[in-house]
Amino acid sequence: MNQNRINEIYSQLEEISFSIPNFETPDEISTAIHECRKRINEVESLAVEVNRENAKVRRSILSLKKARQISYNQLMSSDERVRKGKSGLDRQAIADALLTDKDQELSDLEAIALELRFLSEAIDLRISNLNKTNSDIRLSWNIMQNTHFISSSEQFKEMPVTELSSEELASLDLSTTPKGQKQQIFDEEDFSSLLESEVKEEPKEEPKPK
């Protein structure tokens, strides 16, 4: 992966964003969840690409370091140019100078590895933000559902109490007489006969003994 591709991925990350709109219906929330999940998948695809390239670069760095060490040992042991050095430090300096190309290649690979690390952190941050957005959208769904339930309950509380007129009250059967049984209505004669029966049934006082 070269620097151009790294710059392209940064540009893609800037374009992959999602802002929570003002939801009015559950369908809008479902659509938002789908769109947010789609963007998360796009960023995860970039993460796979970057991680694969990062592993490749690290393998190349390790391989190049081993190859350089082998070349360095060979120069120190058998190269005539290195042997011309008057001291050990001189011979090491000559060997390092002969390995400049490998050192430059190693430096380029390490720079790419550093870029990939920063890019990987940017990808992780974008995925984290999108996941938080997805959670906020689902929270909006729960709030909408609870609000709908509360508003439905309030409709019953706000229903006006029906006031009955005197005529309507008069028409209501408020008696406790069982259905099918007529309520007995007493007239004046019934009350008179009732009083007479009570008088007849009143016990007489016995005469006291003298």
Tell me the average pLDDT across 156-182: 46
On whether the CB atoms of residues 133 and 20 are closer than 8 A, the answer is yes
Token reading at 149: 């339930």
Tell me the average pLDDT across 90-118: 93
Type of residue at 88: G
Confidence band, pLDDT 50/70/90 cuts, at residue 54: very high
Q: Report the C-alpha dihedral over residues 110, 114, 120, 124, rounded to 10 degrees.
A: 150
Q: Is pLDDT of 27 > 70?
A: yes
